[in-house]
Structure 1
């Protein structure tokens, strides 16, 4: 881990208090559904959506329902609340990915919110032959685990140190998966230091920034939901970086600014 990553601090107390805006973001999502219906339709491939810390498939239901309406075969993770990488969780994730891949006979796209995004990245590193793409929403894979306002909660519910990592589960956390990878982040994230949620851009890796988004509302923020749908709609083997031209430049700023 670089010295910069080690010195990252969690978001300010003010940003953490502002996480309450996630409620308004859900209202905006409902109001934006007519516009979101203009997002490109998918090709029916399977999509596995993984929830964040202490949340469950209930939290990802709005996103999953929308993606299903766009033509994808969508599934939640099916393991109740996400209390960290406790015994059985890793095997359950692997089993779900294998089941979806074999049932549909197609590679699976992985969408992970916060901690769920860390799982998605590691699964893609372990089984790239089964994974079509990875999209993370505010996932702190590039910094110290303590550069978040949730590390104490993680330790309390998981019974593990936030700095513990099983090297057999995909290797180094910050290493980019060997499949098309998109990291979506917001500089107003009140839970995770946004710098820790940013991918190293590469041939098949990119970042998408969304202005003003909360961490707790990322799964239903209209601009994020649109970006997820747009990324998933790309034809397999024809991945291209997100196009910020036209109206998108007003919604999605240059992440490298």
Structure 2
């Protein structure tokens, strides 16, 4: 039960299953003691960007988890994410520069949905300030209307969904290590548009879950911790070994079946 076309939004059945986000939040609190076994970090700063129409309140569980793992996690402090309105991208750039200067270290950026689209573009603008990028269900490579939220986007951003410039550039991985975490049962955006073009420094990690729960799904949080814990300059792809094979689906299984 997945979106059947990269150009079409997820089905109504998948959209209705977005209620799973509530269960995933409950699992976040229930599994908090086990999440403390996730890899810990080196204290570098992490900027967390919210999804469409969401604010820093939506990323509070994720930021709390990252702080527990030893990171200096911060919200974007720009209120609800209403898209690329005038001045927003410049303000995000200033926020990134401020964190980079405050800590004297490169900043990792975690972006949820539309926040991930912004995260990749921030890294493209200022690669010297960004350590890595992690996107959560972010439709940077999809068709503009392959989403159940495109009407909401047009309403709050006051611009057409097709008007985002340089869409082909958006599909190109940023010039820093990038991990795209996505779910084929995403009820908001077509999962095909949330995948990176894999390279020596870009990868895809597939999970099971809702779109609205990606920011607090325990399986997603563990993967984020694993990615952020890598020493700077020593990035390697996520390894699906041992018990991880039960929790993380093979993002290449379609290619292997066809071979």
Interval of TM-score (by shorter of Structure 1 and Structure 2): over 0.9
Q: Distance in 2 between matches of 1:236 and 1:229?
A: 14
In the TM superposition, 1:96-245 aligns within 5 A as 96-167=95-166, 172-211=169-208, 213-245=209-241
Give the structure 2 partner of residue 63 of structure 1: 62
Structure 1 segments unaligned to the other structure (5+ residues):
1-5
Q: Distance in 2 between matches of 1:198 and 1:30?
A: 28
Contact 1:210–1:223 under 8 Å retained in 2 = yes
Pairwise CA distance, 1:143: 1.1
Aligned Cα root-mean-square deviation (Å):
1.2
Q: Distance in 2 between matches of 1:175 and 1:219?
A: 24
* 1:21 to 2:17 alignment: no
Pairwise CA distance, 1:171: 7.6
* 1:256 to 2:255 alignment: no
Task: Summarize deviations over 1:181-216 as a string: whole Å, max 9, x none.
Answer: 0000000000000000011111000000002x0000
Higher helix share: 2
Which 10-residue stretch deviates more, 196-205 or 6-15? 6-15
Contact 2:6–2:191 under 8 Å retained in 1 = no
Aligned length: 249
Q: Distance in 2 between matches of 1:7 and 1:237?
A: 34
Q: What secondary structure sits across from 2:57 in the alignment?
A: coil
Q: Distance in 2 between matches of 1:9 and 1:240?
A: 33
Q: Distance in 2 between matches of 1:108 and 1:46?
A: 5
Task: Summarize deviations over 1:90-143 as a string: whole Å, max 9, x none.
Answer: 111000000000110000000000000000000101111110000000000111
Q: Distance in 2 between matches of 1:90 and 1:7?
A: 27
Pairwise CA distance, 1:152: 0.4
Q: Distance in 2 between matches of 1:181 and 1:159?
A: 30
Task: Summarize deviations over 1:126-177 as a string: whole Å, max 9, x none.
Answer: 111110000000000111121000000000111000111244xx98211110
TM-score, normalised by the number of residues in structure 2: 0.94
* 1:52 to 2:51 alignment: yes
Give the structure 2 partner of residue 37 of structure 1: 36
Q: What secondary structure sits across from 1:86 in the alignment?
A: coil
Pairwise CA distance, 1:7: 5.8
Q: 1:26 to 1:7 in 2, by over 3 A?
A: closer
Q: What secondary structure sits across from 1:112 in the alignment?
A: strand
Moved runs in structure 1, 4+ residues, more than 4 A?
none
Contact 1:122–1:171 under 8 Å retained in 2 = no
